[in-house]
């Protein structure tokens, strides 16, 4: 019988993502600067977590995933960019998040083999979330004016999905 373990890091990260998503839904215009700061910090934390998650996947599946290192480094760079210049971050936010959604979700699609080894339900959930991430990313990229108006909602939805994903991983 396989021993099940609980992952506190995934649970905490999932809860943080859900809290940030709820902030995005609550007051999108008034919280734009706060959202930039929170997303910058969360991007850095997510990047660090992705790098450490690689080792966890290797221990669980024997699969040496390279994508979490690339995704983690990209997330850390995005977080630093968001925090470095607030005005530029607010103006660039629709484009930064569009590229982030697309790249992160494509890397997530490449990592589906490891997800399949963990759990079939997690595989399908991850597949759907990553496909939605690519679609939302292209919507943001090709329509920046309307995406700026709906960015808080779209980002909130994305972070809600990642929050749920990380909470599910915690209880696997």
- Classify residue 104 by its DSSP letter: H
Query: In the structure encoding, which two tokens stand for residue 143, read together?
Result: 């329509």
* pLDDT for residue 128: 93
26-50: pLDDT as tens digits: 876 666 777 788 888 989 998 998 8
Residue 10 or residue 63, greater confidence: 10
Answering whether pTM is above 0.75, one says no
Determine the angle formed by the axes of helices 120-142 and 86-110, rounding to 10 degrees: 140
The mean pLDDT value of the chain amounts to: 82
Range from 34-38, 55-59, 109-113 carrying the lowest mean pLDDT: 55-59
Q: Is pLDDT at 62 greater than 60 in this prediction?
A: yes
Query: What Å distances lie between residue 121 and 56, 61, 105, 112, 168, CA to CA?
Result: 19, 16, 18, 12, 10
**What distance in Å separates the CA atoms of residue 8 and residue 13, rounded to the nearest whole number?**
8
72-88: pLDDT as tens digits: 899 999 899 889 888 88
């Amino acid at each position: 019988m396989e021993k099940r373990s609980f992952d506190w890091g995934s649970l905490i990260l999932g809860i943080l993502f859900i809290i940030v998503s709820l902030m995005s839904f609550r007051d999108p215009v008034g919280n734009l600067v706060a959202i930039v700061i929170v997303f910058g910090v969360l991007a850095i934390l997510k990047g660090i977590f992705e790098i450490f998650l690689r080792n966890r996947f290797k221990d669980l599946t024997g699969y040496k995933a390279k994508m979490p290192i690339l995704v983690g480094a990209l997330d850390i760079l995005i977080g630093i960019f968001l925090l470095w210049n607030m005005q530029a971050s607010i103006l660039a936010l629709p484009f930064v998040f569009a590229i982030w959604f697309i790249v992160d979700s494509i890397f997530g699609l490449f990592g589906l083999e490891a997800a399949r080894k963990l759990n079939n339900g997690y595989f399908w959930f991850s597949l759907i979330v990553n496909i939605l991430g690519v679609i939302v990313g292209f919507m943001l990229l090709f329509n920046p004016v309307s995406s700026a108006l709906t960015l808080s909602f779209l980002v909130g939805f994305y972070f809600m999905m990642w929050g749920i994903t990380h909470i599910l991983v915690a209880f696997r």
